[in-house]
Amino acid sequence: MRLLVILALLTLSATARADYQQEIDTFFESVLQGETMEALDTLYSTNPWISESSDAIENVKSQLAGLEQLVGDFHGAEELGARNVKDRFVHVTYLALYDRQPVRMEFQFWRPREDWMIFSFSFDVDFDNEIEMAERARIASGE
């Protein structure tokens, strides 16, 4: 009996991950095809409350649309890590691969009931400074 409960929980957790992971995969597939605005529209469509933040969403769309002009073509993405909080909130960080430089993209998903919805999406090009500072601190501490 205990084994069945454990298997059921593992299956539920894997299914829950698959739901938000599918949203991320769809996002990157669209960006790879040059459909950046459609990628964001699809991502944000998972959250019915997002329309209340339409100005902020339009700002993200505008910034992301201009990103390729600054860093070149998009070639894919690799997951750097994820933090899952009680299978209700997840923060996933990706390294997006562009011609000129990497871009950090972060997705936050929330699951108040059965389905995951986007909570937040952000990106930045300055995370290399964080890596440099962390490495300097590691070296200084003698690790």
For the chain, the domains span: 2-140
Q: Are strands 74-85 and 102-110 parallel, antiparallel or unpaired?
A: unpaired
> Can you give the pLDDT at residue 126?
86
Per residue in 9-66, pLDDT (tens digit) is: 443 444 445 689 999 999 999 999 999 989 999 999 988 887 666 777 788 888 888 8
Q: Quick one: DSSP state of residue 34? A: T
CB 77 within 8 A of CB 109: no
Determine the pLDDT at residue 95: 96
DSSP 127: H
Domain spanning 2-140: which CATH class is it, in words? alpha beta
What is the predicted pLDDT for the residue at 48?
84
Mean pLDDT of all residues belonging to the chain: 84
- In degrees rounded to 5, what are phi and psi of residue 118? -65, 135
Residue 110 pLDDT > 90, yes or no? yes
